[in-house]
């Protein structure tokens, strides 16, 4: 059985965006494209309604490209347990107030038993400072915490 990867919105956005002139963003775009073309087949991919909502915002053409990219990827449901866990992540300070969607991405992935949460969100999700507190909070709620990582990290892990 293949490991399950939850694709957070930032990965899809980097994959479909016009090439950036910013060297860091351009590098992340290239890494994401490489992961998509050469690694994704090794995993079962998942998204959620939250991902769909986030990527449908902004420029209509760009949103359409993003939505088309994920049209065949199964959705994970947002369970009551995921909603409660997201609230706990905020209450415990694992994810800051005002970042409820980030907490919900983590909680959806954890509640559904996902192996990896793939993201470029280093501010609130894949952050060396908060990763331990996120894992402790998720585990205190009774779930295993998915490995929070970027496409670059997941490519190196496998």
pLDDT tens across 133-149, in order?
A: 999 999 999 999 999 99
Residue 155 is predicted with a pLDDT of: 79
Fold of 4-157: Rossmann fold (3.40.50)
Cβ proximity of 118 and 13 under 8 Å: no
Phi, psi dihedrals of residue 128, rounded to the nearest 5°: -60, -30
Q: What are the residue ranges spanned by the domains of the chain?
A: 4-157
- What are residue 5's DSSP bridge partners? 45, 116
pLDDT in tens, 44-81: 999 999 999 999 999 899 999 999 999 999 999 999 99
Average pLDDT value over all residues in the chain: 94
Q: What is the pLDDT of residues 11-34, one digit of tens each?
A: 999 999 899 999 999 999 999 999
> Which backbone phi and psi does 31 adopt, to 5 degrees?
-65, -40
């Amino acid at each position: 059985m293949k490991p399950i990867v939850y694709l957070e919105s930032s990965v899809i956005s980097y994959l479909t965006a016009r090439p950036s002139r910013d060297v860091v963003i351009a590098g992340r775009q290239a890494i994401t494209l490489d992961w998509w073309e050469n690694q994704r087949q090794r995993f079962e991919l998942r998204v959620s309604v939250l991902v769909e909502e986030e990527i449908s915002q902004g420029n209509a053409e760009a949103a359409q490209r993003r939505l088309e990219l994920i049209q065949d990827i199964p959705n994970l449901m947002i369970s009551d347990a995921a909603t409660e866990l997201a609230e706990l992540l905020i209450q415990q300070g694992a994810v800051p107030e005002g970042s409820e969607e980030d907490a919900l991405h983590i909680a959806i992935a954890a509640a559904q038993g996902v192996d990896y949460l793939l993201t470029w969100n280093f501010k609130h999700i894949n952050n060396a400072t908060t990763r331990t507190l996120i894992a402790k909070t998720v585990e205190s709620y009774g779930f295993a915490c998915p490995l929070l990582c970027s496409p670059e990290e997941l490519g190196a892990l496998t």
